[in-house]
């Protein structure tokens, strides 16, 4: 029987307190409460479309801004994935997806090879969904990429409505991360690298 790829984490700073858990090989169940409703919606979509079981409870200084909460959840989520994939043996390592969301088309490619880098090419005609600035999606992605050690490339090919743009990015990233973190039976426990380490 395959080893369960799960992780849990608690992280506390002067700005945020976060408790979270992840099962990479889940069914898409999500219990999310960050104090930022639109961000909760995006994380729920991320779990559902990546088929990750994800629980996140965060308390942050949202009266000041949403920035600290969004960024710190990105850090925690990156650490959860890093812990859950373990030694990475048998893992695909690379993932990519192109996803349409109404008038938007997004593209995401990722390498879980322990070389953190973010290329984020997203330009939105307007930035706000109610009081949530979708520029914060970039901060989430940067924190996630850096902590996980992922080479992450995100591009919005086109799009207009900011809700759709953010949703397109989160769904597309979920599918790419699912592909990269999934197990390839042909590798039979080997590392997906000619260097012998990741």
pTM for the model stands at: 0.95
d(CA 123, CA 129): 15
H/E element, 60: strand 53-60
Cβ atoms of 151 and 111 closer than 8 Å: yes
Q: Flag whether 197 is in a domain.
A: no
Q: What is the CATH number of the domain that holds 14?
A: 3.30.230.40
Q: Flag whether 12 is in a domain.
A: yes
Q: Flag whether 43 is in a domain.
A: yes
Confidence at residue 2, expressed as pLDDT on a 0 to 100 scale: 64
Question: Which residues have CB under 8 Å from 61's CB, separation 6+?
Answer: 15, 16, 68, 69
Q: Flag whether 194 is in a domain.
A: no
Report the pLDDT averaged over residues 170-192: 94
Q: Flag whether 149 is in a domain.
A: yes
Chain center to CA of 50: 9
Task: Determine the Cα angle at 96 with ends 91 and 98, to 5°.
Answer: 155
Maximum separation of any 2 CA atoms in the chain, in Å:
50
Q: Flag whether 47 is in a domain.
A: yes
Q: Flag whether 19 is in a domain.
A: yes
List the beta bridge partners of residue 151.
111, 117
d(CA 198, CA 193): 7
d(CA 181, CA 175): 10
Residues of the domain holding 20: 6-187
The domain total for the chain is 1
pLDDT digits (tens, 9 = 90+) for 18-69: 999 999 999 999 999 999 999 999 999 999 999 999 999 999 999 999 999 9
Report the pLDDT averaged over residues 144-148: 98
Q: Flag whether 138 is in a domain.
A: yes
pLDDT digits (tens, 9 = 90+) for 175-185: 999 999 999 99
Say yes or no to pLDDT of 195 above 90. Answer: no
d(CA 118, CA 144): 9
């Amino acid at each position: 029987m395959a080893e369960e790829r799960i992780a849990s984490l608690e992280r506390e700073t002067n700005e945020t307190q976060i408790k979270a858990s992840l099962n990479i090989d889940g069914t898409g169940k999500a219990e999310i409460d960050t104090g930022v409703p639109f961000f909760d919606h995006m994380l729920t979509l991320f779990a559902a479309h990546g088929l990750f079981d994800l629980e996140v409870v965060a308390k942050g200084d949202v009266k000041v801004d949403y920035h600290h909460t969004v960024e710190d959840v990105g850090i925690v989520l990156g650490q959860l994935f890093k812990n859950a994939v373990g030694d990475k043996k048998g893992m695909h390592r690379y993932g990519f997806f192109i996803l349409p969301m109404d008038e938007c088309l997004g593209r995401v490619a990722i390498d879980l090879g322990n070389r953190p880098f973010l290329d984020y090419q997203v330009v939105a005609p307007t930035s706000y969904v109610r009081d949530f600035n979708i520029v914060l999606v970039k901060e989430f992605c940067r924190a996630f990429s850096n902590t996980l050690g992922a080479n992450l490339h995100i591009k919005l090919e086109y799009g207009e409505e900011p809700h759709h743009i953010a949703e397109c990015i989160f769904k597309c990233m979920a599918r790419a991360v699912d592909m990269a973190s999934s197990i390839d039976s042909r590798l039979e426990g080997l590392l997906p690298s000619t260097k012998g380490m990741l």
